[in-house]
Amino acid sequence: MGQYEMMMARQRKWMFYLLAVLVMGAGFTPYVRIFLGLLLGSVISFYNLYLLQKKINDFAEAVAKKASAKGLGTISRFAAAAVAIIIALRFEEYFSIIAVIIGLMTSYLVIMIDFFVFRNKQ
Amino acid sequence: MGALAAAIAVGLGALGAGVGNGLIVSRTVEGIARQPELRGQLQTTMFIGVGLVEAMPIIAVVIALIVM
């Protein structure tokens, strides 16, 4: 397993742990609206992370094989974030908008923490 | 006016991200083409760079949709 694949697996694992914690928070605490917002944002953020990992892998593979490379999926990620916010605005009684925004940023937090933790180990 | 503000926010955010992504991707392609054995390392750096560059326009999209 290469360095990139290991990083992908680690980041997905941490995102799954985070999602599990958020589901438990929504199920067992009285702050349902906040945790549902965080959950919605984190699910979309996880989709964005998966898309970024996959697209960059495909892109680098295409470059290495000297084939024509397709895009990086930037518009898809913007659209996913827009969908999350539109859902939060439409169902405001179930989702806290601030929590959705914080949830959308979780994958960046995971990327940065993973980078700083494993930078010196490799 | 809200729609105009939203358009300007997303447009300027996407412009910055486009320039940033272009710089990152061009250097990575150059590196992989020169040394294909370093692909994993370059890919990882590109991933982190693109990920962090795209955080800002995503926030811009969110703010644009809220102000609209």
Nearest CA in chain B to A105: B55
pLDDT in tens, B31-51: 988 888 888 888 888 999 998
Judged against a pLDDT cut of 80, whether residue A13 lies above it is answered with yes
Nearest CA in chain A to B54: A74
**Cβ–Cβ of B50/A56 closer than 8 Å?**
yes
Contact predicate A60/B28, CB 8 Å:
yes
Judged against a pLDDT cut of 90, whether residue A16 lies above it is answered with yes
What share of chain A in percent tops pLDDT 70?
A: 98
Residues A24-43 have a mean pLDDT of 93
**Cβ–Cβ of A85/B62 closer than 8 Å?**
yes
pLDDT class for A24, splitting at 50, 70, 90? very high
pLDDT class for A81, splitting at 50, 70, 90? very high
pTM of the model: 0.91
pLDDT of residue A85: 93
Looking at residue A65, the DSSP 8-state letter turns out to be T
Residues of A in contact with B32 (CB under 8 A): 60, 63-64
Nearest CA in chain B to A69: B29
Residues A40-64 have a mean pLDDT of 92
Nearest CA in chain B to A122: B41
User: So where are chain A's domains?
Assistant: 3-117
Judged against a pLDDT cut of 80, whether residue A8 lies above it is answered with yes
pLDDT of residue B36: 83
Judged against a pLDDT cut of 80, whether residue B60 lies above it is answered with yes
Contact predicate B44/A7, CB 8 Å:
yes
Give me the residues of B, 9-68, that contact A with CB < 8 A. Answer: 10, 14, 17, 21, 25, 28-29, 32-33, 36, 39-44, 46-48, 50-52, 54-55, 57-59, 61-62, 65-66
Residues of A in contact with B17 (CB under 8 A): 74
Exposure string for A5-18, b = 16+ CB within 10 A, e = fewer: eebbeebeebbeeb
